[in-house]
Amino acid sequence: MVSTSFTRDVQFPPLPLEEWEDTKNTLHLFLQIVGKVKLALFPKMNHWWHAPFYVSVRGLTTGPIPYEDMTFEMEFNFRDKEHVLRIETSEGDLKTVSLKGLSVAVFYDKVFSSLSELGIMVGIKPVPYDMPGVSTEPFPSDYQHTAYDEEYVNRFWKILVQVSSIFQVFRGWFTGKSSPVHFFWHHADLALTLFSGRLAPVREGANPVELEASSHEMISFGFWAGDQNIREPAFYAYMHPQPAGFMNEPLSPKEAFWSHQAGLALLRYEDVRNAADSPEKAVLDFLESVYQAGAKRANWDSEALRLPSSEKQLKEQSKEKAQKQHKEQADILEKLERPDI
């Protein structure tokens, strides 16, 4: 008999941080170099929405970036055998930079050489942003970070594909202002934020980044692969400003928990992979429980902000997914029983 774990391991593969941490750190620095290029050139948007990447069919992309009389796009290809950064213009010109076997310094040099050859002139502050314990070395002189395990990078991207789709479903239930589902390269997390529409009080001592990012009342959700503090992949959620009693509200599924020290709701990725029903349902239950906790404690009009057809859509999608998985398992069983197929 074929277990559902077969499908789960393909869509939600294992991602133990200690197995690929050196690779993750190198990749994170690569992402910051490209992210800073987008930050320098893309027209400014509220909440720093001009800075992030998006999950694509190959990996992660900047999306089209305006430059003079054309646009160009920078896309990390984690899908195909040759992991590369593609830099393509609307004029049809293309440059690629390999991701394997390069130090951060060499990658940095190749990226800016390629941009120059495409006629794109841009300058960035060439130092890592907010990566204490990982690197403070300027990009042009960082020859230390060279690790790149394409298998684990591919796994990370496959997880982002699944999580992005789940976040898109959840985002569709909400009719108020919301962010895109986007990947912030400074912390390397996939994020989605919902807003009540009310201004948030300004925190004393807040820097310009915080002021812009947290200018309005919000509930934010995300996924990241682990870091120096949380040593495993996890889903998280928080509210700004945090209302009284927010972290006393119940969470779903039962494995989810509040971290009072971090001020976050957390759900471990391993618990999602091993969810009794499905990983998708576990994540959606987590997102919804945090949303309901925040909406209740901060007096959001959750009914007015709810898309009326969302519950019906969720039931239909769950039914279709179950039918598809059943067919896939039946096909696998048939092939196992009939090797001639």
Q: How does pLDDT run across 309-318, given as a tens digit for each residue?
A: 765 555 565 5
How far is it, in rounded angstroms, from Cα 81 to Cα 27?
17
| Residue 39, both tokens | 């930050």
Q: Measured between alpha carbons, how far apart are the two ends of the chain, in Å?
A: 18
The mean per-residue pLDDT over the stretch 84-88 comes to: 98
- DSSP 8-class letter at 53: B
The answer to whether the CB of 214 falls within 8 A of the CB of 240 is yes
The answer to whether the CB of 169 falls within 8 A of the CB of 317 is yes
Q: How does pLDDT run across 196-225, given as a tens digit for each residue?
A: 999 988 777 778 777 778 889 999 999 999
pLDDT band with cut points at 50, 70 and 90 for residue 160: very high
Q: What is the pTM of this model?
A: 0.88
Q: Is 49 exposed, middle or buried (0-12, 13-18, 19+ CB in 10 A)?
A: middle
